[in-house]
Amino acid sequence: MDSESLLLSLELASGSGQGLSPDRRASLLTSLLLVKRDYRYSRVLFWGRILGLVSDYYIAQGLSEDHLAPRKTLYSLNCMEWSLLPPATEEMMVQTSVVKGRFMGDPSHEYEHTELQKVNEGDKVFEEEVVVRIKEETRLVSIIDQIDRAVAILPRGALFKTPFGPTHVNRTFEGLTLSEAKKLSSYFHFREPVELKNKTLLEKADLDPSLDFMDSLEHDIPKGLTSSPGSWSIQMERGNALVVLRSLLWPGLTFYHAPYTKNCGYIYVGTGEKNIDLPFML
């Protein structure tokens, strides 16, 4: 959610019970403004909150002029002092995939993981237990990146691609219509397209190059059938005045959009764990 319209956004996203206490709100409003100034971001998003056992991580993201460029991620424990997180790498993801369970809330906490590694000593090959230490900060980076790739979404038309390449906020975006708001195909993943390149020419024929340049949600796995939802739950709340998408794969991510207005955004409040039991639960 946009840091500048934080209060409205929080109000809209409150249907899932995920809010911020008044002191957190106030401090976020103050500190994100300073973050925007200091880091020279064109836009700062309040990304969400990862619940730790001891304390919570508050996450913000800075966007540059090109909205699809890699985002800078910051975290804070007290909503005032922000620290920049390093960009996520493949290596980190592999490394942290072995860690399970909850976050502690201490970035310097180290998870211990014992691995069996083959050690060559001369001719002999024997296995040895090696204790791998993984810092929680690394895991945080990796999890945020995974969530961003998987479930950060935007309504169709909120961004547009300029002829010169960079993507900007579409100032003429006036919100989805009601019928569009109920379809998964009107929402896009907020990331560089991956599946779009694999599409056939026939499928691309109807796409508007200035708007349809991102992957839409309708091909997410597990796919929703007409009767049962896949990895997303779409609900109309407050009559039809608000559409709320909740990710079932990453429970805790809530996307809200008020049709016919440009109010939209997403927030993640959760434990930072993927719901791998999803097929059992549907």
Partner 1 sequence: MEDSSSLKQEKENLERGEEGRPWYQMTAASSQDPRPALSEPPESEQGPDTGPRPQSSPLRSPRSGGSTAVDDLTGPGASSPPSPPQEPFSTPPPALSRQALAAPWQSVKTTGVIPEAVTPHTDPLKQSFDSGESIQQICQSKEDTFQQYQQTNGHLYEPRDVSCNDSKQKELRFDIFQEGESNSNYDLDEAEPEEAPSMLEIAVQSAKAYLLKTSSKSGLNLYDHLSNMLTKILDERPDNAVDIIENISQDVKMAHFSIKLDTLQNENEMLPTYEIAEKQKALFLQGNLEEADQELEDEIAENSLPNVMESAFYFEQAGVGLGTDETYRIFLALKQLTDTHPIQRCRFWGKVLGLEMNYIVAEVEFREGEDEEEAEEEDMTEERGNGESECEEGDEDDLPRSFYKAPQPVPKEESRTGANKYVYFVCNEPGRPWVKLPSVTPAQIVIARKIKKFFTGRLDTPITSYPPFPGNESNYLRAQIARISAGTHVSPLGFYQFGEEEEEEEEEEEGGKDSFEENPDFEGIQVVDLVESLSNWVHHVQHILPQGRCNWFNPIQKSEEEEEEDEEKEEEKEKGEEPDYIEQEVGPPLLTPISEDLEIQNIPPWTARLSSNLIPQYAIAVLRSNLWPGAYAFCNGKKFENLYIGWGYKYSPDSYTPPVPPPVCQEFPSGPEITELADPSVEEEQAFKAAQEAAVLPAKENEDTDEDEEEENDYD
- Interacting residue ranges for partner 1, rule: CB under 8 A: 11-12, 14-17, 19-24, 51, 53-55, 78, 100-102, 178, 229, 233, 235-241, 246, 248, 251, 270-271, 273, 276-277, 280-282
Cβ-based nearer residue to partner 1, 150 or 236: 236
User: Beta-strand (E) ranges in 25-105?
Assistant: 43-50, 57-63, 72-76, 83-84
For residue 140, the minimal CB distance to partner 1 (Å) is 17
Residue in the block written with tokens 């907020």: 190
In the block, tokens 């001719």 appear at 123
Shortest spacing between CB 246 and partner 1, in angstroms: 7
Helix (H) or strand (E) run with residue 113 in it: strand 110-121
CB 59 to partner 1: min, Å: 15
What's phi and psi for 70, nearest 5 deg?
Answer: -55, 135
Nearer to partner 1, 151 or 214 (CB): 151
Q: How far is the CB of 208 from partner 1 (least distance, A)?
A: 18
- Tally of CA atoms within 13 A in the half-sphere of 43 that contains its CB: 16
Amino acid at position 166, single letter: P
d(CA 42, CA 209): 24
Q: Given the complex with partner 1, which of 62 and 272 has the nearer CB atom?
A: 272
Closer residue to partner 1, CB minimum distance, 6 or 159: 6
Shortest distance, position 105 Cβ to partner 1, whole Å:
9
Residue 233 beta carbon to partner 1: minimum distance, rounded to whole angstroms: 4
Residues in the chain: 282
- Nearer to partner 1 by Cβ, of 42 and 78: the residue is 78
Q: Which is nearer to partner 1, 170 or 271 (CB)?
A: 271
Q: Which is nearer to partner 1, 122 or 279 (CB)?
A: 279
Give the 3-state secondary structure of residue 243.
strand
Exposed / middle / buried, residue 50 (Cβ in 10 Å: 0-12, 13-18, 19+) = buried
Nearest distance from residue 165's CB to partner 1, in Å?
29
**Strand 253-257 vs strand 264-270: parallel, antiparallel, or unpaired?**
antiparallel
**Interatomic CA distance for residues 200 and 282, integer angstroms:** 31
